[in-house]
Structure 1
């Protein structure tokens, strides 16, 4: 008797097996892991009916067998299409090149079989299934599977993995940290005092270490593997050493081996698939969740998030110390190894990264380990609805791409102001999509209609775009996400709320991306250019009330109230402005377009003091750069945007100087003595620890030929020293370099040989910061720091 089971999809694969397709889904259920095997689903694409005969002839000439089926679908040019099925995945890969050679169209040829199986059933993580069960070792396998969507949230088991190795990549140890077992598998023999450490598993060789790792995964069977650079470093090396030791490293479920593939775009990046297990890299997952850090090292991120980290900073110090510990103090190395695992676990827990990842999968259907994935998420959500409306998706167009305008940025009015309000449109682009019914299919249908206010008329967009009033999906998708996010906020579910926000805000980016099959410049332009109109009109509304808009950026306007206001007075003005302007927008959309308005202006901030600087060396106001003094809770703080304090390419010397200088000026305090004292101490060497530049090498070191910037010169010097000392080269393939400017030019921090050029730091770090604000109080840096002339 078949029973219904509910679970969550961990991994998906499709392949050819015995002449037919096989989809394998590993699913976590309350009863343990299950392997669902679906046989015989055929890959499908769609070809215009008028091109079917020519396509059939081309397939026959290539000895490719296909099956045709009539379907009630059309493409975006309103031409009917038929479905074209192949027997195997391998055969399906021949379709596109054959069609391209004949100049024929094929639609949805790139949709992977397992992805289509799930998306057409609206399965997004949660799944309910039936089938014929067969008990296996550690899991149940189901055949003859039928499946549909379910709302299910599992408890997933997690292990944090980290390796330690020599500079040549020979494994010393593997650390594993989970709720059920934490240990370090260490190559070597214990000292007498080490026998009291049962969490260390001693093995006599690297091969034995890899076999012990296989056994650990078989015994403890985790769903999720986390780590720091765990794919491109730890797993890359584990697979390499397994191959050297003539092992397969069967750490997947059902003792299956991992599959590694290199990125076609970045040779230094790889991807790993482990059947039944999901690998989440801490760096990639944090970036997907929109976190940003000055440095992405585990030390730096753990210090910033947790207030603790590792104590070895320089890569050579670290390598030397690891080698020393492996030879003489393996217990310390084991503790160091396990500490790294624990730090990653704590970062995931602190940031709710696993919750975020699962909610993203539940919302969009993308794989748990998908990095980025905005285009895939949109496709998963949109494509099944499009099919049910009678359309196939367009093909990816790389030619004839027309860029759309970006967000609207007003010219700023530079100055040092009292009482500036920031009014911000809540999720402006999603609210424009909702209000003006912007949608890929809505564009196709809207172009068949004339413009006008009536329900039988299209809504005007930009650049020739017109949108149907009823035939669309995206506005409803956003409405559903909007409601879900409001509920998540009420429930205090930060991970769910953040996942929804990222997905909702990604829709514009997807529609404006040439990497999305639904891209049309009329779609993206109808969003951004409407945003321009909204901000311009809002500025006019505010200025009609007697206030001055000094700046605007994408979805925000900065309003100068004309004089200093108390917090209560400013709040009253801000609250009234948003009430009046929101009502005006509702009236405008109803009268002009016969539409409901979802635009919502919010009062965000009152800056008691606010600086809008000029572009350096000019009188013109800058953009995306400002600073302001606000109350946060019961204390004052200064918010910096785009200025030196929040930029990673400026030194701590300049950043600390800016924070104090701005604070003094915002509080009307004298700054001359502070500036002179700071410059004097800098020149005396009292701030040497603050003089380090830290910059990223975005290309291989050899790629820098004509223009060689300071950080590249420092990196070349550092690797020259590494080569002389017989150490591995650090900077040849990119990375981060720390350096200082000396009287002989830039030199790496770890190999400083010359005297520091203090004049450089005064002229290039302190002076620009000071002259960004001093002119607004009638002073200049040079005037204040000029030598004092005594009286004769």
Structure 2
């Protein structure tokens, strides 16, 4: 909205934060923010932000001497009303340029001057200190785009607005919390084995395009997308620049899009000496590499690149394989448009030579599948809402430590503290994980599961567990809340309990509004806070903090078990925040479920009274009746008589239908054959329903030996290292991979298994052999012994029999 109309017109606006950047200029450090408003993209230039870190006041004189000696005279040391967690006063060291910030930081460390918060970039600090997260409200002067300060940029003609002398503040505009304002495109490239480009697919709801190298040809069929022909790879790259400039997407999505598609594009642009002017201001992408992995990161001015695999993982999705074909089939029931997925590169090359229309369709279908997966899982909604809640960039991978820092640091500064450095917390203590009870193995009727609702966040809220709260609590232990390992927590000086309370309230509202993306984002954030406090990669790590959470959870679970047993019921298992109760064989389903609600209410009331009497705190803990198993099985540890942990199966009823639930057993593991999984599901269902299992087991064995289940005998395992890195104790799937690639090498075929990935293989009489490379009979006896017998003998002893008793006579026929 325009405020005034003279030559120094000021404009205000609000928008979604897309990208951020900080650069050094002759006049000092500038922060650039790109946002998307209802009127289009906007570039904001913020001046006057000085990079800063903190040192202890008693190091000021030495620090000033080092600064003077380095001749960086524009560096300033200023006293501040801040102190460390060890109660040392600090001063701020301010710089005109980011380059000087890094030089002095390294110089101070060489002279053992400890620097605090020296890992925060000015753009992140600018946003954090103003509590700006996913949305920005701004006021600034409109500037013609030709006055760009960086003359190295080759400007394109993107339609964006540019403002200088900008002031920003937090914005909470509900209408911006959706994907409606953002336009996205799914990008995918097709190329040869050597990395030469064939085509580039670009898919959005409004525009579908394939840029294809080749001579224009009359099409033999109608197509519903734009097929743009270019003569060679150089023209293809220019065409991509032009397409991006013309359609101007805010978000670019894809599948392994950064580490494959964009990285290969970079190489091809460099090869042809063409500038990849993909930034909204005509700038090139900026590349960064993770210090401890092969992960690359790309920064594009005004555009966000979101990789589907990384964002699914951030949203806690898990698949046996993250290949596009597997995920699309699992989520959408749709596969890739290629006949031989295992040899798709060869088919793609063949199509490029002989059937470019088929390749174009395949290329665009990959783009469409990614777009459909994003829609199905609400990944963009998730990214936007997570950014709004935490200040994380839209394309941030993981980021639980950064999210905590964004939310916590500005509150900490306003209370007079700077944050500690990694390693400052108490050393030598180890905080335990979640409490897992010894189980009571057996077959049961009527088992209830009671589950503590967000147990760790609830403990944080109840006992006021907080980094600064512990520092304040240790000052006055007599009036504080006692934790574990000598920790005490202030009853009124803390932030984390209130942050969680606010998030909790937002999640309840999201559930009520059936906003699954928001609910999931909040759940992940809340549950990550314990992990952050328990991670040595977090500046606030202190085992007294994490221990006061987990050790309290142990105490609560043990106390809950005692209360349940006092009511006359048997606790057969417990794990972290859940407790499993056998309420007797004689009860009906209705009686059992009514009892679940009664026990939950009893425990909650007991907690209120217990915590008030012991600690004078209000209980935020809540246990809920979660699941009723009409039939339940808790196995023993294989080969022993003691009960297992984190492994069970049960029968529940949902929507009037029986449903089997497996936890940790073969049926849900990726390294067991489909035959074993199907055998286990059917066998357990028969046992639960008290049906005879003898004929089923015998028929399964008979059909296995007859070869009727060959398609279900594949093993599938991940090759986690390069093949030549496996030296000792070579596992079966590696043996299969080596044999397959030995065959490929001898027959001048591409090697398939050298550099990680997945392999499917069979067990044969000549050992493990990869799918497509089998030259020996399958070893059916080995499958029966390792798969069927192992599955059956976990449960059959509980009904008075064994696999051998049932199959001995039959097995002799096959020997």
1:566 corresponds in structure 2 to 588
1:10-34: per-residue Cα shift (whole Å, max 9, x none)? Answer: 0011111225111111110111001
SS at match of 2:670: coil
SS at match of 2:92: strand
1:626 corresponds in structure 2 to 648
Structure 1 residue 107 corresponds to structure 2 residue 116: yes
2:52 corresponds in structure 1 to 44
In 1, the alpha carbon distance for the partners of 2:570 and 2:68 equals 71
Q: C-alpha displacement at 1:778, in angstroms?
A: 0.9
Structure 1 residue 281 corresponds to structure 2 residue 307: yes
Q: 1:20–1:656: structure 2 CA closer, same or farther, 3 Å change rule?
A: same
2:270 corresponds in structure 1 to 243
SS at match of 1:115: helix
1:146 corresponds in structure 2 to 167
Q: C-alpha displacement at 1:398, in angstroms?
A: 8.3
In 2, the alpha carbon distance for the partners of 1:329 and 1:401 equals 66
1:765 corresponds in structure 2 to 787
1:265 corresponds in structure 2 to 292
Q: C-alpha displacement at 1:758, in angstroms?
A: 1.2
1:228 corresponds in structure 2 to 255
Q: C-alpha displacement at 1:42, in angstroms?
A: 0.8
SS at match of 1:615: coil
Q: 1:564–1:250: structure 2 CA closer, same or farther, 3 Å change rule?
A: farther
Structure 1 residue 202 corresponds to structure 2 residue 229: yes
Q: 1:250–1:724: structure 2 CA closer, same or farther, 3 Å change rule?
A: farther
Structure 1 residue 421 corresponds to structure 2 residue 448: yes
Q: C-alpha displacement at 1:96, in angstroms?
A: 3.4
Structure 1 residue 434 corresponds to structure 2 residue 448: no
Q: C-alpha displacement at 1:229, in angstroms?
A: 0.9
SS at match of 2:386: helix
Q: C-alpha displacement at 1:248, in angstroms?
A: 1.6
Task: List alignment gaps of at least 5 residues for structure 1.
Answer: 452-456
Task: List alignment gaps of at least 5 residues for structure 2.
Answer: 1-8, 146-156
The question of whether the paired residues in 2 share the 8 Å contact of 1:443 and 1:466 is answered with yes
Q: C-alpha displacement at 1:771, in angstroms?
A: 0.8
2:473 corresponds in structure 1 to 446
In 1, the alpha carbon distance for the partners of 2:587 and 2:104 equals 68
1:529 corresponds in structure 2 to 551
Structure 1 residue 514 corresponds to structure 2 residue 536: yes
1:454 corresponds in structure 2 to none
Higher alpha-carbon deviation: 754-763 or 781-790: 781-790
Q: C-alpha displacement at 1:574, in angstroms?
A: 0.4
In 1, the alpha carbon distance for the partners of 2:449 and 2:339 equals 41
The question of whether the paired residues in 2 share the 8 Å contact of 1:58 and 1:102 is answered with no
Q: C-alpha displacement at 1:615, in angstroms?
A: 0.6
In 1, the alpha carbon distance for the partners of 2:320 and 2:264 equals 27
In 2, the alpha carbon distance for the partners of 1:378 and 1:718 equals 47
The question of whether the paired residues in 1 share the 8 Å contact of 2:11 and 2:142 is answered with no
Structure 1 residue 409 corresponds to structure 2 residue 436: yes
Query: In structure 2, which of residues 769, 784, 787 is the aligned counterpart of residue 747 of structure 1?
Result: 769
Q: C-alpha displacement at 1:311, in angstroms?
A: 4.7
In 2, the alpha carbon distance for the partners of 1:112 and 1:717 equals 50
Structure 1 residue 79 corresponds to structure 2 residue 105: no
1:396 corresponds in structure 2 to 422
1:482 corresponds in structure 2 to 504
SS at match of 1:621: coil
Q: How big is the alpha-carbon RMSD for the aligned residues of Structure 1 and Structure 2?
A: 1.5
1:345 corresponds in structure 2 to 371
2:659 corresponds in structure 1 to 637
Structure 1 residue 357 corresponds to structure 2 residue 383: yes
In 2, the alpha carbon distance for the partners of 1:57 and 1:401 equals 37
1:68 corresponds in structure 2 to 77
The question of whether the paired residues in 2 share the 8 Å contact of 1:412 and 1:622 is answered with yes
1:582 corresponds in structure 2 to 604
1:299-342: per-residue Cα shift (whole Å, max 9, x none)? Answer: 11111111111154755521121111111111111011111111
1:608-657: per-residue Cα shift (whole Å, max 9, x none)? Answer: 01000001111110000000000112111010000001111111111010
2:5 corresponds in structure 1 to none
1:53 corresponds in structure 2 to 61
In 1, the alpha carbon distance for the partners of 2:750 and 2:430 equals 44
Q: 1:395–1:640: structure 2 CA closer, same or farther, 3 Å change rule?
A: same
> Structure 1 length as normaliser, TM-score?
0.97
SS at match of 1:390: coil
1:92-136: per-residue Cα shift (whole Å, max 9, x none)? Answer: 112433232222211000011110000000000111101111243
Higher alpha-carbon deviation: 776-785 or 496-505: 776-785
Q: 1:484–1:326: structure 2 CA closer, same or farther, 3 Å change rule?
A: same
Structure 1 residue 697 corresponds to structure 2 residue 719: yes
Q: C-alpha displacement at 1:52, in angstroms?
A: 1.3
1:358-393: per-residue Cα shift (whole Å, max 9, x none)? Answer: 000000000000000000000000000000000000
The question of whether the paired residues in 1 share the 8 Å contact of 2:64 and 2:77 is answered with no
SS at match of 2:393: coil
The question of whether the paired residues in 2 share the 8 Å contact of 1:45 and 1:83 is answered with yes
Structure 1 residue 603 corresponds to structure 2 residue 612: no
The question of whether the paired residues in 2 share the 8 Å contact of 1:398 and 1:514 is answered with no
Q: C-alpha displacement at 1:55, in angstroms?
A: 2.2
In 1, the alpha carbon distance for the partners of 2:191 and 2:588 equals 61
SS at match of 2:396: coil
Structure 1 residue 463 corresponds to structure 2 residue 463: no
SS at match of 1:193: coil
2:152 corresponds in structure 1 to none
